[in-house]
Structure 1
Amino acid sequence: MSLVVSTYNWPQALELVLLGVAAQKKLPAEVLIADDGSGAATKELIRSFQHKFPVPLQHIWQPDEGFQLARIRNKAIAAAQADYIVQIDGDSIPEKHFIMDHARVAETGCFVRGTRGLLTPGASQRAIAQKKIAFHFYSSGVKHRNNVLRSPLLLPLGIKKETNSFRVKGSNMGFWRKDFIRVNGYNNAMEGWGHEDEELAARFINAGLRKKKVKLAAVQYHLHHKTASQEQEPLHCLVLENVRTQLIIACTNGMAQL
């Protein structure tokens, strides 16, 4: 399993994520940082982790030319070695069983959509100041607590399979690399914030995969931050709707066009 962590100019958050990954009960085979143009501070942070990290840690970087998350994720996944990919964001701290849970729910013919709990601004600031990575259902400053409850015993009740791409977020997602290649990965043309994950998921659905919604496992805690500019969202919604209505499977500007 390859873990892809996307980031942009927030090394304090990325540090907590990497500490959380290093503390996993089951480690991924490798970690790839998909860096959409961060500066020197992020580069130095990753370098400081590389010599002591328990698994290979790659820094996949591209120049800062605006919000190009789709493109940098394509580049990172192109460099990945494992057959299965798990994605998180560089501001979402994985609970210590996160990778173990994703390995458990991975299934041929499906992609996984996980959820996340949200940390309040105060809890996020304290986590960064204290380098805190351990949270639980009763931790103060946690919102959407139903998303951070973990129960291996009850996990079958937290799994639901669907044939739609709604409410898919790349911050907690798992899929087979061969399926990603089949649909030509993310759509590089979707620059700016919004719906690049749903658009990929819609093409997964068109290719015959099912969305596997997972709760009670694969828990993560999202650090609070300001929302990115959403000026491109209306255009992205049109692209997404076209993929759904025209049943498009492979985008024309994706991983193969890098």
Structure 2
Amino acid sequence: MKKRSSSLIISTYNWPEALGLVLESLKNQTVLPDEVLIADDGSTAETKNLITKISEDIKIPIHHIWHEDVGFTKATILNKAIARAQGEYIVQVDGDCIMHPNFVKDHLMFSSENCYLYGSRVNIQKAHLDTLFKDQQIQFGPFSEGIKKRTRAIYSPFLGQFYKANHQFSKKFRGCNTSYFKSDFVAINGYNEDFKGWGREDSELALRFHNNGLKSRRLRYRGIVYHIFHIEKSKSRLELNNDIELRTINEKLSWTENGIDKYLKVL
């Protein structure tokens, strides 16, 4: 595995119980990133206090990047966090996704020039939440209670080797489990901050990666996360967000005007 400086980006909003489990799974990583940046879309002080407490037990820098709560502005807070990242390589996960112990290791192992990665997401079911939080569970396998999409929980380096990089965008891509070079992210001006509310900010980013010449590789049977059930966010702006994505597809856009550059200029 080639040594690259790396930054783990964790997005969160007002769910410290879930974020706590994600950070516990960070402690369990076989390979740690060089730093962690928590992209906080306006959580209350409870999240800040949790991060302060857990930071004392983790031997790498943890930076809390916060802005005021003005609604769902995930694209904006991710841009702000990634602008601050010192790592050459960005590994990205959501604050409700518990990481497999080899999550960071897998993303770094398969990182390669002109390519971004995306991994699998196993769903933790609603009925298991009480047990999950009571037991502070961070270890799962394909036969664990309380999960669905069990084949996604199979960890197999042998099977994973058969998935190769290609130029096709996959609808299986999820921003809660992806990685890329920061330079590739900056080259397309990062997330499009015209996205407000839930939906399409991640897939539109990946589409612009492809429009700028990148390949993608699926980390099947590697790079696994376990997504904690929650009530879906409001989809009131989904139609507007769909229109933004369709423009990117139809015009083959790689650059967004409303992106990360505004934060890079002030660093």
Using structure 2 for the length normalisation, give the TM-score.
0.94
User: Which residues of structure 1 form unaligned runs of 5+?
Assistant: none
Aligned counterparts of 2:126 and 2:169: Cα–Cα separation in 1: 32
Q: Is residue 203 of structure 2 the alignment partner of residue 217 of structure 1?
A: no
2:75 is matched with 70
Matched, 1:135 2:121: no
**1:63 and 1:154 mapped to 2: Cα distance?**
44
**Among candidates 85, 91, 95, match of residue 90 of structure 1:** 95
Query: Structure 2: which 5+ residue stretches go unaligned?
Result: 1-5
SS in 1 for 2:206: helix
Question: Residue 47 in 1 paired to residue 52 in 2?
Answer: yes
2:254 equivalent to 1:249: yes
Deviates more, 1:110-119 or 1:163-172: 163-172
Per the alignment, residue 158 of structure 2 pairs with 153
Q: How far 1:104 moved relative to its partner?
A: 1.3
- Measured on the aligned residues, the alpha-carbon RMSD in Å equals 1.1
1:238 aligned partner: 243
Corresponding residue of 2:197: 192
Q: Does the 8 Å CA contact 2:166/2:217 hold for their aligned counterparts?
A: yes
Rounded to whole Å, the distance in 2 between the matches of 1:164 and 1:94 is: 24
Counterparts of 2:200 and 2:27, CA distance in 1: 30
Distance 1:79 1:42 in 2: 20
> How far, CA to CA, are the matches of 2:200 and 2:59 in structure 1?
33
> Quick check: 1:20 aligned with 2:25?
yes
Number of positions where the alignment pairs a residue of Structure 1 with one of Structure 2: 258
Runs (4+) of structure 1 exceeding 3 A deviation are none
Give, in whole Å, the separation in 1 of the partners of 2:68 and 2:193. Answer: 15
CA distance in 2: counterparts of 1:92 and 1:39, whole angstroms: 20
Q: Please say which of residues 123-132 and 82-91 is displaced more in the overlay.
A: 123-132
Q: Is it true that 1:100 corresponds to 2:105 in the alignment?
A: yes
Question: What is residue 123 of structure 2 aligned with on the other side?
Answer: 118
- Check the 8 A contact 2:165/2:215 in 1, yes or no: no
C-alpha displacement of 1:190: 0.3
Q: SS where residue 153 of structure 1 aligns? A: helix
Give the equivalent residue in structure 1 for 2:184.
179
> Helix, strand or coil: the match of 2:207?
helix
Q: Partner amino acid for 1:116?
A: R
**Mapped contact 1:4–1:31 kept (Cα < 8 A):** yes
Native 8 Å contact 1:159 1:215 kept in 2: no
- Aligned counterparts of 1:126 and 1:195: Cα–Cα separation in 2: 32
State the identity %.
38
Q: Distance in 1 between matches of 2:162 and 2:135?
A: 35
Shift, 1:154, TM fit: 2.2
Q: Output the CA distance in 2 between the equivalents of 1:83 and 1:207.
A: 19
